[in-house]
Structure 1
């Protein structure tokens, strides 16, 4: 029971981080959001920031996938 609670907690946290990262990413076409992003991330460079956010998105997606598999494994082993 304890392992499933911990894994479930991490799934929720990683999902919330993934939602946040997706909302932060600037869209492909120019809009108000992109203008806002340019002001905040000017010192990093927009291209580098978008690449970083895309890599973080893929990483979080993969982590959530494997955490879900482990969660399913622990729930089935308890029955």
Structure 2
């Protein structure tokens, strides 16, 4: 599936079907920061073979959001590359 709103929406539907509401909330939050990064996370979520694998992906989303916000504050430069 191509990256973009459609992929994010399809992933959200699957998460809702699995009653994984924390994932829904966090995927929406990361989608607001950067849709392409959100799609990369969606891809990892969809490819996870088990509930534990999906949980690991979801648990890392706040780190991704913080990194994206830090990058935005630094004018688009990743703070770890400075």
Could you state the TM-score of these two structures normalised by the residue count of structure 1? Answer: 0.39
Could you state the TM-score of these two structures normalised by the residue count of structure 2? Answer: 0.38
Higher relative contact order (CA 8 A, sep 6+): 1
